[in-house]
Amino acid sequence: GDAAPTPTPTLRFEAVPKNKNDLVSIASGYRVSILHALGDPLQSGDAAWADDGSETPDSYNRRIGDGHDGMHYFGLSNAGAWQADRSDRGLLCVNHEYVVGPHCLHPNGRTAGSVRVAAEVDKEIAAHGVSVCEVKRGADMSLSMVRDSPFNRRITSATLMDFSGPAKGSNLLRTKQSPTGTTTRGTNNNCANGYTPWGTYLTCEENYLNVIGRAADDDAARSAKEVTALNRSGLPQNRKSPYLWDTPGSSDDYARWNASVTGASAEDDFRNTANNFGWIVEIDPFSPSSNPVKRTALGRFNHEGCWPCKAVAGRPVVFYMGDDGGSEYIYKFVSKANWDPADVGKGLATGAKYMDQGTLYAAKFNADGSGNWLELTFGKNGIDSSHTTYPFADQADVLINPRLAADKLGPTKMDRPEWGAVNPLNGEVYMSLTNNSARVAPTATPTGYQLRPDAANPRYYEDLKNGTSVQKGNPNGHIIRWREAGDDPAASAFTWDIYLFAAQADAAADVNLSKLTDVNDFSCPDGLWFDSRGILWIQTDDSAYTDVTNCMMLAAVPGKVGDGGAATAAGGTSTIKGANANGTTVRRFLTGPKDCEITGIAMTPDRKTLFFNVQHPGEAASADHGAKAYTSYWPASQTDGAAKKRPRSATVAVTRSDGGEIAL
Ligand code: FEO
Ligand code: CA
Ligand code: CA
Ligand code: CA
């Protein structure tokens, strides 16, 4: 059962030292097991991972995908429904963000050249998306995969899915494969996640531009308005996508990865294909035959994740979201319908009730510690056909291009919003701001997309290396938090502070503003999640401190807004207090293998099994495509001693040796 949460949890594990070992290193008294890794079969009819890239493209419709990222555990009842308090049997939904390298997936890495090999692209399309896997607890409290479970499922970048909400049927969603703009194929670049109070999974489309290109002369075939929209979403003409999925041949299965005008109308080509991605996608893991649904009311951008407030009967359901583009915005969605606990367990029908009608807002963080939610509704605040650079047609147009709507109102450009998390003890919302190379000194003249620091994003450079190389920007990131006015998630105003500035322990005092020490210094917060006791888990996707340590996961007991104090916009001084206290309230729980990112977190309701993901171990070798020597051999380095096997993204299950609750 799900015991009552401890009011003020105390961390009771020893901090793991920083290190560069090719292992998951975890606090003593804990053990780790690999739940699943790239290529593991979900069905017994497919052979085990062969470690030579010989798995067929088709088999990835039944194998664990690549690039494990956001995930969630749902307890599974004997009747096959959601059982929120069940810990010994469940469904684990895992995002497969992208194909790493792709040096591990193919026999000899990615074949070089500007035209991709069709079989390689087919395999990559099938290795993206989401996996749903039944898991069952064994005697040691860990959980393992249940092969052949009827709930096991792969959702890929080719799976048929539906549009829902105000943009469904919009002329901006129409393609040759869906002339009515009501369906599309696939989800991809599924980064962080969310989950709903009614028991469904949310997967969030982030870097979809990885797989979409655009022809050299495409602007000439477009209206000025269309060109404005494409440029604002980061898809200028003459752009080749890194994955070149549009190159193996002329079939629609490849042509759909190029957003260019080639036919007489949108129904004849894939000019709108980019508009089919960048959405929040709802999946009912308990209904394996249901189509995933792209919920358009929550807007289209580089979605990191989608985190619910605590549902309260008679009040709207609220989701918080970050747009992980350089200097982009934080958003929230407030449902029109008020929460009715009787809607639990009704799957996608409940999703339609709460996620297809509502209001989208973008966040403005004022220098005095107050904040405002700016409404992005067609016909309000000048978001209408009178807009000079982008005359909006209707709410579908606003939702397909919410960045352009938000630009009109001036929300705060953030240092790359990654994961959010809602504190179950007080409703406060936290969000990682991972880093931003675009911050410049307050006195500098910004060019292009550079920005001066502001109160919510106050750091603009750090001298990271021996006092010689001054790196512009905010390389280490920070974590911001806010409390809604009146503790009402639907409020239009909030108060905020900065909870934690990431930094090296040996950095100067005006850089290490949170006074981090060797037991808890870190860089580039990304994954963030509150467990039911109010412990905040922080994961890193770092590029600034990796000369000293691999990426990591920390646990924190964070207090509340006001404890941190606001930093000044001058970009150096801060009144921050109390965030660290020598590891009492922030402590390193584990470190990952070489050249990985630690991301994705889930826990059983009894808090005795914790899951996290190791994404892209050995990524530094990926440019070598088929490198003879990887920089990591994990997970074999963990499970198989000296075996030199391909590095693979994987889900890790953590248990305490004595079977107790994690972290306490
Ligand atoms: Fe896929 Fe913003 O991380
Ligand atoms: Ca991330
Ligand atoms: Ca990241
Ligand atoms: Ca990543």
Cis geometry, peptide bond prior to residue 635 (ω within 30 degrees of 0): yes
Residue 280 Cα to ligand 4 middle (Å)? 17
Residue 257 Cα to ligand 1 middle (Å)? 21
Atom of ligand 1 nearest to the CA of 302: 2
Residue 630 Cα to ligand 2 middle (Å)? 23
The reply to whether ligand 1 has any atom less than 6 angstroms from the CB of 415 is no
Tens-place pLDDT, residues 391-407 = 999 999 999 999 999 99
Q: Which of 161, 173, 490 is nearest to 308 (CA)?
A: 490
Q: Which of 187, 101, 107, 96 is nearest to 133 (CA)?
A: 96
Q: How far is the CA of 545 from the CAs of 351, 542, 592, 599, in angstroms?
A: 41, 7, 14, 17
For residues 608 and 657, give the distance between their C-alpha atoms in angstroms, rounded to a whole number: 10
Q: How many residues in the chain?
A: 664
Averaged pLDDT of the chain? 92
Atom of ligand 1 nearest to the CA of 207: 1
User: What's the average model confidence in pLDDT over 623-635?
Assistant: 70
Please report which confidence band the pLDDT of residue 624 belongs to, taking 50, 70 and 90 as the band edges. very low
User: What's the average model confidence in pLDDT over 467-472?
Assistant: 53
Kindly list the protein residues that place their beta carbon closer than 5 angstroms to ligand 3, a single-atom ion.
526, 541
Angle, vertex CA 66, rays to CA 64 and CA 72, nearest 5: 65
Q: Of all protein residues, whose CA lies closest to atom 1 belonging to ligand 1?
A: 191
The reply to whether ligand 1 has any atom less than 6 angstroms from the CB of 597 is no
**ipTM, two decimals:** 0.96
Residue 607 Cα to ligand 1 middle (Å)? 26
Can you give the pTM of this predicted structure? Answer: 0.96
Q: How far is the CA of 73 from the CAs of 584, 604, 607, in angstroms?
A: 28, 7, 11
For residues 63 and 650, give the distance between their C-alpha atoms in angstroms, rounded to a whole number: 12
Res 580: pLDDT:
47
For residues 358 and 79, give the distance between their C-alpha atoms in angstroms, rounded to a whole number: 33
Instruction: Give, for 402, the enclosing helix (H) or strand (E).
Output: helix 402-409
For residues 295 and 336, give the distance between their C-alpha atoms in angstroms, rounded to a whole number: 14
Residues 220, 195: contact at Cβ < 8 Å?
A: no
Backbone torsion region of residue 79, taken as left when φ is above 0, otherwise alpha when ψ lies between -120 and 50, otherwise beta? alpha
For residues 182 and 169, give the distance between their C-alpha atoms in angstroms, rounded to a whole number: 5
Instruction: Identify which has the larger pLDDT, 4 or 168.
Output: 168
Q: Of all protein residues, whose CA lies closest to atom 3 belonging to ligand 1?
A: 191
Q: Give the number of the ligand closest to the Cα of residue 303.
A: 1
Angle, vertex CA 573, rays to CA 572 and CA 576, nearest 5: 120
The reply to whether ligand 1 has any atom less than 6 angstroms from the CB of 97 is yes
Tens-place pLDDT, residues 71-102 = 999 999 999 999 999 999 999 999 999 998 65
For residues 657 and 655, give the distance between their C-alpha atoms in angstroms, rounded to a whole number: 6
Residue 652 Cα to ligand 1 middle (Å)? 19
Res 46: pLDDT:
98
Q: Which of 6, 36, 176, 4 is nearest to 612 (CA)?
A: 36
Res 278: pLDDT:
98
Q: How far is the CA of 486 from the CAs of 58, 358, 362, 479, 492, in angstroms?
A: 53, 20, 19, 22, 10
Please report which confidence band the pLDDT of residue 625 belongs to, taking 50, 70 and 90 as the band edges. very low
433 CB-near residues (< 8 Å, 6+ apart): 414, 415, 416, 417, 418, 457, 474, 477, 478, 479, 480, 525
Residue 91 in 3-state DSSP?
strand
Starting at the edge strand that comes first in sequence, how are the strands of the sheet with 30-37 ordered?
30-37, 650-656, 609-615, 597-603
Residue 291 Cα to ligand 3 middle (Å)? 29
